Amino acid sequence: MQRAKFWKAQEHGFVQCRLCRFNCRIAEGGRGRCGVRANQAGVLYSLVYGRAVATNVDPIEKKPLFHLLPGSKSYSIATVGCNFRCLHCQNATISQWPHEHDRMAGELLSPEEIVEQALSTGCQSIAYTYTEPTIYYEYAYDTAKLAHAAGLKNIFVTNGYINREPLVRIAPFLDAANVDLKGFSDLFYRQCTGASLDGVLATLRDYHRLGIWLEVTTLLITGQNDADAELEKLAAFIVTELGPETPWHVTAFFPAYKMMDLPATPMATLLRARDIGQQAGLKHVYTGNLYDADGESTFCPACNARLIHRQGFTLTENRMDNGRCVVCNAPLAGVWF
């Protein structure tokens, strides 16, 4: 166990966790919504510090991050636990583990060992991913500081529900984030995840204000969050609040977890969403989980030259020159070196 950050003691042995926007009030002997932060004798502890349940070397495009060191490898880690209850979670076996088992899964792996393995495998970044990095904040924070000192980038792949203070604390070491904006309806958010739309939008604004490179992903589920009006509002939010250069990834849903009865997303939905995003003024809208050559490629927003061609997670062509278009020399937003 590791003493947690961002909490307050309260009367009668309760503590209030201030790490994420649920702000759980936890009785002595109890755990927060994430299942991995526990009140023991009036002190809040992390139960997953140093316990990595998943470690992999992934292409950066898998996160997905298309405007951060394209073609590079990212050392990806996770612990068990999540503060959301997404009905369509693709990693439910580890995200919901603490609610279904008495012990915490994972192998002991120190922050120092994570950085060492990232460097030895030729990775240029560490991604805190698969579950929700917010809930293993202390572990991620200590690792990120060491990684930053070693010249590695740090990436959160997140549901976007962290409170402002902990985000400000880790921001000097956090280079980029891909935030799931799961829809643009509060009803959908509450029914599908248990969280609020407004909380996610506030977090996105915080990331933007702190200057952390941001890409947004929306998994489109037929009949749930794919209505034109909703997508138009979502795209307009990205343009006006985060900037038109912010990449938006619209990806296909496949039946998973507690949404096994819903159909997979057709390509037509992704193409429609991409068109909506472009009409709203977004410069980079990408399609994912179904192959589409144009939807996976990066085009220059100034001259429309194809600069990066992707096939799945593989780059087949990269015509960027130090973050600029090789045709017209226009700069593209992102982290290129």
Asked whether residue 40 falls in the same domain as residue 119, the answer is no
Give the model's pLDDT for residue 185: 97
How many CA within 13 A on the CB side of residue 79?
Answer: 29
Asked whether residue 88 falls in the same domain as residue 27, the answer is no
> Which one-letter amino acid corresponds to residue 300?
C
Which residues contact residue 227 at a Cβ distance below 8 angstroms, ignoring those fewer than 6 apart? none
CA dist list (Å): 7 to 23, 37, 46, 299: 9, 10, 11, 45
When the pLDDT of each residue in the chain is averaged and rounded to a whole number, the result is 97
Asked whether residue 264 falls in the same domain as residue 302, the answer is yes
pLDDT digits (tens, 9 = 90+) for 135-181: 999 999 999 999 999 999 999 999 999 999 999 999 999 999 999 99
Q: What is the mean pLDDT of residues 5-30?
A: 98
Asked whether residue 18 falls in the same domain as residue 137, the answer is no
pLDDT digits (tens, 9 = 90+) for 315-331: 999 999 999 999 999 99
Look at the chain and report how many structural domains it folds into: 2
Asked whether residue 102 falls in the same domain as residue 148, the answer is yes
Give the model's pLDDT for residue 55: 98
Answer yes or no: is pLDDT of 39 > 90.
yes
CATH of the domain at 313: 3.20.20.70
Q: What is the mean pLDDT of residues 252-271?
A: 97
Give the model's pLDDT for residue 240: 98
Q: How confident is the model at residue 1 (pLDDT cuts 50, 70, 90)?
A: confident
pLDDT digits (tens, 9 = 90+) for 97-139: 999 998 999 999 999 999 999 999 999 999 999 999 999 999 9
Give the model's pLDDT for residue 125: 98
Asked whether residue 248 falls in the same domain as residue 265, the answer is yes
